[in-house]
Amino acid sequence: MKYLQVRDYLRALAGSELTAGDPVPSERALCERFGVSRMTVRQAVDALVVDGILERVQGRGTFVAPPKVDLQVRLASFTEEMTRRGMTASVKVLGAGIVEAEPDIAEALQVAVGDDVIHLHRLRFADDEPMAVEHSWLPALRLPGFLDGGVPSSVYVDLGTRGLVPDWGEDTIDAGEADHDEAELLTIGPGKPVLRITRRAFTGDQAIEYASAAYRSDRYTLWVPVSRPNPPVVPRNQHPPDPQGTA
Ligand code: 16G
């Protein structure tokens, strides 16, 4: 199929001579080069837009898209993840303080309702581009003086200095739409898709963080390593099948 030739040519071009933000050859040039119709060229471009390799900018044309950051699902901090990818992490603190734990936060952090918890609301950047809006809650009683010197630039580094860096956790990931405030902060349109990630992180058997974040899904790919568990992993609140059938 002709369109595959055009697609593969553009894909190779985007991965070699061109870099993010460069325009791709015009439709007319591609039609001439491959002896195909505009419709065929558009079909090839569409496929690469869907794959996130090219992006169309209204009124300006088609460009090589910035590479997607693959968000690896593992217990790393935002700062570590971005550094590992050769990007510079930065943060804008939108709010920070001690609040009383609401019932859902109290349950997640294994504290009593009304106990002091640290609440952080942060906009996270990679190479100065907004990537995620995060709310985090941490048990204040376990972290005396946490906010005394201002909000640490990396929460997990601060936890590390206290010997409390989380060593395991649970993430849940949902597809969602950016609400008005998130869209503004992330510089995407309202209603654009985001990945909603909640995390409960533990140090040993004690919960140290509950977090809820909206990640731009145009800039993130989730990368999930999978392997066959042995023994089977059972979701929380469920019990493995009883082999004796005696339950
Ligand atoms: C990640 C965590 C977030 C944690 C932050 C600490 C996810 C989905 N979220 O963004 O819960 O608060 O790292 O990063 O992975 P920091 O040490 O750079 O502040």
pLDDT of residue 206: 92
Tokens, residue 40: 């065929």
CA Rg value for the chain: 23
User: Which has the minimum average pLDDT: 44-48, 155-159, 206-210?
Assistant: 44-48
pLDDT of residue 49: 83
The answer to whether the CB of 194 is under 6 A from ligand 1 is no
The answer to whether the CB of 197 is under 6 A from ligand 1 is yes
ω into 231 cis (within 30 of 0): yes
- 30 forms beta bridges with none
The answer to whether the CB of 77 is under 6 A from ligand 1 is yes
Torsions phi, psi of 107, nearest 5?
A: -65, -45
Asked whether residue 2 carries a pLDDT value surpassing 90, the answer given is no
Closest Cα to atom 13 of ligand 1: 77
User: From CA 6, how far away is CA 36, in angstroms rounded?
Assistant: 9
Between the two ends of the chain, the Cα-to-Cα distance in Å is 59
pLDDT tens for 166-224 read 988 888 899 999 999 999 999 998 899 999 999 999 998 899 999 999 999 988 776 66
Closest Cα to atom 10 of ligand 1: 78
pLDDT tens for 50-105 read 777 888 887 888 999 887 766 555 578 888 877 876 788 999 999 999 999 999 99
pLDDT of residue 86: 73
Distance 90 CA to ligand 1 centre (A): 12
Residue 158's pLDDT band, with cuts at 50, 70 and 90, is: very high
Counting ligand 1 atoms within 8 A of each CB, the residue from 70, 74, 78 with the most, and so the one to mutate, is 78
Q: 3-state class of 41 per DSSP?
A: helix
pLDDT of residue 130: 95
The answer to whether the CB of 216 is under 6 A from ligand 1 is no
